[in-house]
A and B are shown apart, each in its own frame.
Chain A
Amino acid sequence: MSISVAQDRGRGQTGLLLVLLPVALVATLIIWPIVRAVMDTLIVTGPDGASLSFASYRFFFTDAHSMGNLRITIWTTAVSVSILMAIAIPIAIYLRFVTGRTAAVVQALAIFPLFVPSIILAYAFIRVLGPNGMVDLILGSFGLPRIRSPYLTPWGPVIGFVWDNLPLSVVILMAGLSNVTNNAVEAARDVGAGKFAILFHIILPRIWLSILVATSFVVLGLFSAFTFPYLLGPAAPEMMGPFMLRTFGDVMDPVQARTQAVITFLICAVFGWFYVRSIAKNRARREAA
């Protein structure tokens, strides 16, 4: 008895030692800079000492330019995630229930973007969908009119994001779909459920959590994305990533750049909370089972 307690304690200490390094890294490289950033935006040092001020936040929320940039970021994220899920869920369901050569090809194609660096993708995008790009040349050879190129419009980054985030979403959704047993689907079919009934009553309820996780992941990545909005998006309004860098490096206004970062962080934190909560729920459910 006393031996097993000692062993438990030893194991607990080893566990603590193992998490010490990541926790220390998170504390020094992430938590502390966040605290510093928030303090820098709230405390103004004047001639008569430091004082609390919301001026930088007031500027952000009353400045049409800044708010326009925040709005386009939310719009781009919402549209990208919607399109992404509309594409990724059918692919994941297809890959869950179909086997064979075609399915293998589809899977390879869906995972392929994972291996292409986004900067390469951005330049490929310009060559294919850009003005006088490949699509225009093909259309032109059939005497068809050119496309209105999405390059340098808000749709440019959207197309890039959807392509770039497809593999991650498909993989997360497929993991969720492993919760859907063939037995459950067959049982539903036996009692006469149609395809849509199976989708809405059997499949979707079981992968709801995975959809939430995939959405949170993608939103966190998109909200502060840089490469696609920088290379493919319009000059104005611009997404928060390029906007923050420009405010810091070119406008040389670090306080306003930090204010933008804190606002971006707070919005992302909401989705981070969704993610953490769904993971915790999932674990609680598994432990109960």
Chain B
Amino acid sequence: MKLTPTVLLFFLLPPLLFYLTFVFIPILLSFSTALLDWNGIAQPKWNGLKNYSDLLFHDPLFWITVKRNVVFALFSMSEIPIAFLLAAVLSRYFKNGQRIVAALFFPVILSVVVVGQLWKTIYNPLSRGGLLNHILSLLHLEHLTRAWLADPKVAMYALYLVALWQYLGYHVLIQFTGIQNIPREFQEAATIDGANGYQVIRNIIFPLTMPFFKISFVLAFIGSLQAFDLIMVMTGGGPAHATEVMSTYMYNMSFDSQRYGYGSAIASLLVLFSLLATLILNAFFGRIERRYDLH
């Protein structure tokens, strides 16, 4: 079948309509509700840019949540090189690498609620038989045991770790697919020319999987900015805001404090930050790709 405009329309229109009604229009609306003083029930009052000015200049908690999101993103991106190395080793030295990739991918298909409950049990205090604390005490590291999710100093890092664990397989899969796409001849030719395993990975595989790096990095960054469900399940943003990130703060403001306008202002900034991050990452990878002449 030829790809006539009608055919294209047939395939693209339904998802486009979905996208417009459930994503695009609500985002636009949130920019306008952000200008209101509204509890979500009564008649809204016009509030101008006050929500934004309060948020940006008078709300220290907001900037703390932004910082946590950025740290979250940095952590998520830092596992991508590890994922790449794993994928490279698996595709080069293992006959059935895809099986191991499938095993690593398994946590991704688990519901976040399941993952959250699982790790909550692992992080349980020693008195409740928490696995992590139990291992620490077996290693005679009792001074390190703690209630991981209730200690504000470590709770956020405990959450980062769960996300890293869950999404490692995701990035390995992306990198693995990228590596499989490289024609076998390139690697063989390099081997014949006397390149060793490291050199093949460094000079052939790494540059040629660059587009896949870009995908991984963008997904990791945006995913971290939008992190919500895992945090809601495991800590609900607590104790006392210690694990609050932008999206949970937005939710708590809109629905618990019933400040819809303020919540919408957070939501719209979240959208802007995500766009900004995508632009920066795209520009960054554009330069790298030009360096390796992949265009």
B is bound to A: no
Q: Which A residues fall within an 8 A CB radius of B? A: none
Q: Which B residues fall within an 8 A CB radius of A? A: none
